[in-house]
Structure 1
C-alpha cells in the first residue's frame, strides 16, 4: 500500500467511526498493511466471559470452535486473554511473542488451536476502560499457508497506536451486560473449588497457581521466573500437585483439569 492509498483508507475509516461500517473499513485499512486470512474483534470484560463483536474469514473452519470451545472456557488459557488481564494494554502483540515457552505442548494448542488451522496471529489491543479491553486479532491460516512476514509486522507496528485509537473511539461507549454482574472469584480459587467438588482433591493456592501455569504452557523454568521462586521449589510444587491429583504426567493433568474449564468461565 502506498502512502496515498493508506491515507485514503485511513480517511474512510475515520469517516466510518460510530457507524456499522467501521469494522469493515478498519479491516480494509489493516489489510493494506498486512494481508490476513481472518479477523475477529473480541471484547474482554475483566474475568467475565468475552464477547465477539465482529468477524470475517476466508475459510469458515477457522472459527468453528470459537463459540463452543473458546467462549466456553478455552479463552482462560489464551495468551491474548492473559495480556488483557495486565490492564490498560494498547498497541500490537504477536502471539508467538507473548505465548509461554511450552505453549505448543499444551492441551489448548493441540486440542483447540490446531483445529482452527491458524498459523500466525497478531492482535491490536485497545483499552476502553480499566476493565474492558478490545482485541482486533488478525490471523493467517491454511488459506494462505504462511505466517506474517517481517515487513508486514513492522508495518502494523508503525501504525499500532493509530489502530488502537480507532478502536477506542468507535467503541468508547461500549458497556457489556456482564459488568452488571459481580466479578467472579480469581481463577485459581474457582479451580480449587471445582476440583474439590468433582474429585475431592484439595489443592493449596500455590499448587493451583502452578497447575494453571502448566496448562498455559509454562516450563518449570518459566514458572520459577514468573513466580520468582527457585527452580527446585517449582519442582517440589509439581511433585506435590501430581501426587494430590493421583497423576504422573502433564498429559494426565490436562485430561483432569480441562473438562472443568467450561464451569470456570
Structure 2
C-alpha cells in the first residue's frame, strides 16, 4: 500500500521505504544509512541528524550532502550558536517528539534589526529566526523532527530547503505521516544498539553560560528578556510571552543595552558569543 502525499509531484512514502528503514535495525552505521534513505526520499538541499545531550554541546551524527559545503557554519553551530537556536531551546524545554517547522518554536515579526557584524551571528531580517550563523546557508526554511530517546537525549532531524518553496510544506506533511514509523524504528535501534545513536564526547555544554549572561549587571527580568531576544523573539513576541506591555519590553531593552554598554541587537549577539568563548 502506498501512502498519498499532499502534492502529486512529491515522492510517496512507500512500503519499500518502510522496509528499508526496518532493515537498518542493528547496524552500527544506522545514523549514516538512515540519513541516506531520508535524503533520497526528501531530496532537501541540506539534511542533518543532531544529537542533543545534557551538559554537552550537540553532535552531528550525519549530514547530507557529505562533505557539506558549509563546514565552518556547522562547526560554529555545534560549538556556540546552538545554545540560542530555537530547536535546541525546544529540546531544553522538553518539547514533545514530533514534526515541526522551525517557526513553531519562535514567534517573530518583520521588525528585525538590520545591523550586521562579521562575528559569530549575523542579524538578518530575511531569516526565519532573525539571525544566521556565518557560513550557514542563507534563507533556508527548516522542518524539524524530534525523537526523544530513553536516556534523556533527543535526536533532531533537520531538513533544510529554500525559504518559501513548496517542498518545505510537502515534506512536513509527508514527515508527519512517516513519523510514527520513523520514531518506532529509531527507538528500537536505541534498544538494540544504543552506541549507534551516540557520539564521542563533544565540548562541555554552554547552558549555564546562557543563563548567567549579564548576571552581574542585569536584573532577573532583564536577563529573561535578553535570553528571549537571543533566541529570536521580537519585542511583540516577548510582550505576549511574558504578558507585559510592549512599552515595558522596550523600556527593558533600553535598560539592557545601557547596562551592557551596547546600542544594537547585533552587539548584544556579539557580546553574548564573547561571553560563551
Q: TM-score category by the smaller chain?
A: 0.7 to 0.9
Q: 2:205, 2:265 → 1: CA distance? A: 33
The residue matched to 1:70 in structure 2 has which SS?
Answer: helix
**Alignment partner for residue 214 of structure 2, among 173, 192, 197?**
192
How far does residue 64 in structure 1 lie from its aligned partner after superposition?
A: 3.2
How far does residue 25 in structure 1 lie from its aligned partner after superposition?
A: 4.2
**Alignment partner for residue 152 of structure 1, among 167, 171, 186?**
171
Please state if 1:35 is matched with 2:43: yes
How far does residue 133 in structure 1 lie from its aligned partner after superposition?
A: 0.8
Name 1:90's counterpart in structure 2.
Answer: 97
Q: 1:28, 1:104 → 2: CA distance? A: 39
Number of residue equivalences: 250
Name 1:70's counterpart in structure 2.
Answer: 77
How far does residue 24 in structure 1 lie from its aligned partner after superposition?
A: 4.4
The residue matched to 1:208 in structure 2 has which SS?
Answer: helix
Q: 2:111, 2:177 → 1: CA distance? A: 29
The residue matched to 2:108 in structure 1 has which SS?
Answer: coil
The residue matched to 2:167 in structure 1 has which SS?
Answer: coil
Q: TM-score, normalised by structure 2?
A: 0.75
Contact 2:81 2:133 in 1 (8 A): no
Per-residue displacement from partner, 1:90-116 (whole Å, max 9, x unpaired)?
A: 111122333341599474564744632
CA RMSD of aligned residues (A): 3.4
Per-residue displacement from partner, 1:66-119 (whole Å, max 9, x unpaired)?
A: 12x112210011111011112252111122333341599474564744632252
Tell me: CA distance 1:129–1:227, structure 2 relative to 1, closer, same or farther (3 Å): farther
The residue matched to 1:82 in structure 2 has which SS?
Answer: helix
* Structure 2 alignment gaps of length 5 or more: 4-11, 114-120, 125-130
Tell me: CA distance 1:149–1:65, structure 2 relative to 1, closer, same or farther (3 Å): closer
* Structure 1 alignment gaps of length 5 or more: 197-201
The residue matched to 2:44 in structure 1 has which SS?
Answer: coil
Contact 1:220 1:235 in 2 (8 A): yes
* Greater per-residue helix proportion: 1
Tell me: CA distance 1:205–1:108, structure 2 relative to 1, closer, same or farther (3 Å): farther
Contact 2:239 2:249 in 1 (8 A): yes
Tell me: CA distance 1:104–1:34, structure 2 relative to 1, closer, same or farther (3 Å): farther
Tell me: CA distance 1:44–1:147, structure 2 relative to 1, closer, same or farther (3 Å): farther
Name 1:199's counterpart in structure 2.
Answer: none
Name 1:126's counterpart in structure 2.
Answer: 147
Q: 1:56, 1:104 → 2: CA distance? A: 33
Q: 1:82, 1:259 → 2: CA distance? A: 20
Q: 2:108, 2:32 → 1: CA distance? A: 34
The residue matched to 1:169 in structure 2 has which SS?
Answer: helix
4+ aligned runs moved over 4 Å, structure 1:
1-5, 108-111, 174-179, 181-184
Tell me: CA distance 1:130–1:226, structure 2 relative to 1, closer, same or farther (3 Å): farther
Please state if 1:115 is matched with 2:135: yes
